[in-house]
Amino acid sequence: MKTNVIYTNEQIRERISQLGEEISRSYSDDRPVLCICVLRGAVMFFTELVQKIRGEVVLDFMTLSSYDSGTSSSGKVRMVNGIREDVKGKHVLIVEDIIDSGHTIKFLREYFSEKDPVDVKVACLLDKPMTRQVHADVDFKAFTLEKPSFVIGYGLDYDQHYRNLSNILEVESL
């Protein structure tokens, strides 16, 4: 596999610190922020990000699937494991690794909005707007990909491999 580093670990961590500050400023009341990690891809981003958010933060995790295998989304989102926390009366911050087709974020916004939260916001490590199939608002993003690259590292995978890489790499050829 031929790859090219597009974001170093230092760049990622610096941007996550800035993002944590942006997120902290956006919540002006004392209500808790329920940060929901969409497993597995967002776990590295999530653990770094929640440490940078000021105020009361509650953590929860969920597993969704929209990738059958390989590099493309099936477009059908299914919940594998849901959260345990009640979202009613809380700020909900969905933390995703990459916003690609938009199907997952659309599904999650609709799902959580029905449960009476104060609000539902989305933070992602990477935004890939050129591959959107449905409208998906992203409130906080670390980086925007400028071309429709397939990327690995820092939680992002290819068939469950390469999540442990500390940088984000563009896959030039498999």
Residue from 30, 60, 97, 100 carrying the catalytic annotation? 100
Nearest C-alpha neighbor of 166 from the set 154, 150, 152: 154
Are 87 and 36 contacting, i.e. CB atoms less than 8 angstroms apart?
no
Q: How far is CA 60 from CA 87, 146, 161, in A?
A: 10, 31, 24
DSSP one-letter string for 11-79: HHHHHHHHHHHHHHHH--SSSPEEEEEEETTTHHHHHHHHTT--S-EEEEEEEEEEE-STTSEEEEEEE
Residues 75 and 142: their CA atoms lie apart, in Å, by 24
Query: Active-site residue 100, yes or no?
Result: yes
**112 Cα distance to chain centroid:** 15
Catalytic residues: 100
